[in-house]
């Protein structure tokens, strides 16, 4: 990123501070050796088991996405989101921000996407579990649920599928909460996760860095709040189209391209 002269001194100061912090990290962390550090792996498993054991919850997140322009300038877009889950087959999500305003409803039988801005919606038959629905939505419809990797029944297997190295960075603070900071690397991306310390190992922050793209753009999810005892009613997950809403078809992904559905 190019900065004006008034930012030069601040940039230099932040660079020096970053070097001091990195110098203070353990040698094995700085090296980022291509290995799995047991402590980091155990913490991720603990988080995965805890999340998978939650029968219902709601979570509010603040998401940011970097876009690198042809000029090399990096622009960031914000997208707050709210997600409600009732296992094994209920999901509702709403994300509203700079790029998209969209609602997702899944009731165990159908998946519906609704765009409140232009009042378009599309509905399709869906598999009978949240995990299967997420896989179907990604593979067939190119639709991604907010924080999808973290809401599988066993997120550990999804998160570590292509990982080639894992290390424990150290303790950190996210939103006033003490967290374990873990760093992961695979062939395509680097990613980091901050997991709350204690008997409720909830993820508090998640960053994915696309390291082979110019400017190394990042996608960041910061969790603002968790509610582990929400009052979720059955009708919350069933979409009822507004009177002036218009139904359209999904564009399905096929081996030969796209098709309407």
Residues 213-259 pLDDT 10s: 889 999 999 999 999 999 999 999 999 999 999 999 987 654 444 44
Q: Is the dihedral of CA 117, 148, 213, 257 positive or negative?
A: negative
139 domain-assigned = yes
Count of domains forming the chain = 1
22 domain-assigned = no
Question: Are 86 and 76 within 8 A, CB to CB?
Answer: no
Whole-model pTM: value is: 0.83
Strand partners, 180: 171, 195
Mean pLDDT for the stretch of residues 48-53: 96
9 domain-assigned = no
15 domain-assigned = no
122 domain-assigned = yes
26 domain-assigned = no
Q: Is 107 helix (H, G, I), strand (E, B) or coil?
A: coil
- Give long-range contacts, CB 8 A cutoff, 24+ apart: 32-40: 32/165, 32/167, 32/183, 32/185, 33/165, 33/167, 34/164, 34/165, 34/185, 35/165, 35/166, 36/163, 36/165, 36/166, 37/166, 37/167, 37/168, 39/168, 40/166, 40/167, 40/168, 40/182, 40/183
Domain range for 147: 32-260
Does the pLDDT at position 24 exceed 70?
no
197 domain-assigned = yes
Q: Indicate the pairing of strand 90-96 with strand 101-106.
A: antiparallel
Does the pLDDT at position 25 exceed 60?
no
Hey, what are 239's tokens? 């979409």
60 domain-assigned = yes
What's 238's domain CATH number? 2.50.20.10
Share of the chain above pLDDT 70, in %: 83
What is the number of other CB atoms lying within 10 angstroms of the CB of residue 204? 24
Identify which of 237, 233, 228 has the alpha carbon closest to the alpha carbon of residue 60.
228
Cβ-in-10-Å burial (0-12, 13-18, 19+) of 2 comes to exposed
């Amino acid at each position: 990123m190019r900065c004006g002269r008034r930012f030069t001194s601040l940039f230099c100061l932040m660079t020096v501070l970053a070097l001091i912090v990195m110098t203070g990290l353990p040698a094995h962390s700085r090296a980022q050796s291509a290995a799995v550090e047991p402590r980091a792996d155990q913490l991720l498993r603990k988080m995965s088991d805890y999340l998978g054991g939650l029968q219902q919850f709601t979570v509010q997140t603040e998401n940011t996405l970097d876009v690198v322009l042809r000029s090399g300038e990096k622009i960031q877009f914000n997208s707050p989101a709210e997600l409600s889950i009732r296992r094994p087959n209920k999901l509702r999500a709403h994300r509203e921000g700079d790029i998209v305003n969209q609602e997702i409803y899944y009731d165990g039988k159908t998946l519906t996407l609704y765009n409140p801005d232009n009042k378009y919606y599309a509905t399709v038959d869906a598999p009978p579990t949240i995990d299967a629905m997420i896989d179907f939505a990604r593979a067939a419809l190119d639709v991604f649920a907010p924080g999808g990797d973290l809401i599988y029944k066993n997120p550990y297997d999804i998160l570590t599928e292509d990982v080639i190295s894992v290390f424990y960075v150290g303790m950190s603070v996210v939103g006033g909460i003490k967290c374990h900071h873990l760093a992961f690397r695979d062939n395509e991306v680097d990613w980091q996760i901050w997991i709350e310390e204690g008997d409720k190992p909830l993820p508090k922050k998640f960053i994915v860095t696309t390291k082979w793209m110019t400017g190394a753009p990042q996608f960041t999810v910061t969790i603002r709040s968790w509610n582990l005892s929400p009052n979720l009613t059955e009708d919350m997950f069933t979409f009822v189209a507004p009177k002036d809403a218009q139904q359209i078809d999904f564009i399905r992904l096929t081996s030969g391209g796209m098709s309407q559905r």
